[in-house]
Amino acid sequence: MLLEGKRLVVTGVLTDDSIAWHTARVAQEQGAALVLTGFGRALRLTERSARRLPDPPPVLELDINDPVHMEALASDLGERWGAVDGALHAIAYAPDDALGGNFLTTPPESAGTAFLTSAYSYKTLAVGLHPLLVAAGGGALVTLDFDNRQAWPAYDWMGVAKAALQAVTRYLARDLGADNIRVNAVSAGPLTTMAAKSIPGFSRFRDVWGKRAPLGWDVSDPTPVANMVCVLLSDWAPMTSGEVVHVDGGFHAIAAEGD
């Protein structure tokens, strides 16, 4: 199996329609041992979703912006496994006034929150897990991206944060490569997850995607994205780092929809 014997951390699991949940499902099917993380009031959602996996894994609390939480997670994983082979970073948040067409009026503190939680947090997770990845002889980190080379309606400062996330991916790849740690991002097409529903005007993303993507696109199926995440977490991508891999039906490559 692709992930036989791998010890993986999957953050950001809320409901069982999320990319993170489907990544956990595929990873278990491919032989991985898992720990999930959740946060605050959403922790109960994570625990409920964990019970829907083939082999319900432990759920630990992680507020990525709280250093005490990151230290506690690393300590627990160290006692539990002694080492970690990889992790999925599926953490993002922007306040309401940083989305929905408020780009010009968004206050700096809201833009800062979007950056801190959605981009800088990838570095926080990488540094927190670094000793455990080194103990494993190296490993892989993957984050979830949304292609932001264009300005999208309503996406606003989350789009800026995602651009920063791509840059963080490259710099982490530079600084962690010497320890045989690969760092990548998967840029997914739009999916009808809980996170997507919080984006004003999400239907505009959904409507255009199927028309322009040459392979088509099913907004209700996270499995293709989860499969790619698992490939990047596996030993089948030993020389891939600093990359943004698109899983979007080919949408990103096409300038305009065909006839």
Instruction: Catalogue the active-site residues.
Output: 155, 162
Q: SS in 3 state form for the chain?
A: CCCCCCEEEECCCCCCCCHHHHHHHHHHHCCCEEEEEECHHHHHHHHHHHCCCCCCCCEEECCCCCHHHHHHHHHHHHHHCCCCCEEEECCCCCCHHHCCCCHHHCCHHHHHHHHHHHHHHHHHHHHHHHHHHHHCCCEEEEEEECCCCCCCCCCHHHHHHHHHHHHHHHHHHHHHHHHCEEEEEEEECCCCCHHHHCCCCHHHHHHHHHHHCCCCCCCCCCHHHHHHHHHHHCCCCCCCCCCEEEECCCHHHCCCCCC
